[in-house]
Amino acid sequence: MENPITSADERYKELMAELKSSRDNLTEIQTKQLDLALELEYGQPYFKVKHFIGNAQVSAYAKYKQFLLELRSREEVIENFLMNIAKQEAQIEIIEEELKLETSPARVRLKEFELITNKNDLIKIHRRLKQAYEDRQNFLDALEDMYKTGEAYLPDGTDLADAVKDPKLSHELETQHWRQRLGKQAALDIIAMGRIGTGNMEAISQMDEEDAVSALTIAMDWSTRVNKALGQIENNVIQEIESRKGFTLGLQERPDVKEIE
- Residue range 175-189, pLDDT digits in tens: 999 999 999 999 999
Residue 253 located in a structural domain: no
Rg (CA), the chain: 28
Residue 87 has, within 13 A of its CA and on its CB side, a CA count of 8
The confidence score (pLDDT) of residue 240 equals: 85
The confidence score (pLDDT) of residue 65 equals: 95
The confidence score (pLDDT) of residue 259 equals: 47
The region, left, alpha or beta by phi > 0 then psi within -120 to 50, assigned to residue 3 is beta
Report pTM. Answer: 0.72
Q: Measured between alpha carbons, how far is 156 from 162 in angstroms, rounded to an integer?
A: 13
Q: Are residues 183 and 238 in the same domain?
A: yes
Residue 92 has, within 13 A of its CA and on its CB side, a CA count of 16
Q: Are residues 142 and 179 in the same domain?
A: no
Residue 254 located in a structural domain: no
Structural domain of 176: 166-243
Residue 220, phi then psi, degrees to nearest 5: -65, -40
The confidence score (pLDDT) of residue 253 equals: 56
The confidence score (pLDDT) of residue 249 equals: 62
Q: 60-101 and 105-149 are packed helices; what angle lies between their axes, rounded to 10 degrees?
A: 160
The confidence score (pLDDT) of residue 48 equals: 85
Residue 159 located in a structural domain: no
Residue 251 located in a structural domain: no
- The single-letter code of the amino acid at 179 is R
Based on the structure, what is the number of domains in the chain? Answer: 2
Give 3-state DSSP helix, strand, coil % of the chain, rounded to 5.
Answer: 75, 0, 20
- The single-letter code of the amino acid at 208 is D
Q: Measured between alpha carbons, how far is 180 from 215 in angstroms, rounded to an integer?
A: 6
Residue 125 located in a structural domain: yes
The confidence score (pLDDT) of residue 31 equals: 81
Q: Are residues 65 and 120 in the same domain?
A: yes
Burial (CB count within 10 angstroms: exposed 0-12, middle 13-18, buried 19+), residue 150: exposed
Mean pLDDT by 10 residues, the chain (261 residues): 59 70 82 78 78 85 94 94 93 93 91 90 89 92 95 96 96 94 95 95 95 96 95 91 70 53 41
User: Are 111 and 99 a contacting pair, CB within 8 Å?
Assistant: yes
The confidence score (pLDDT) of residue 64 equals: 95
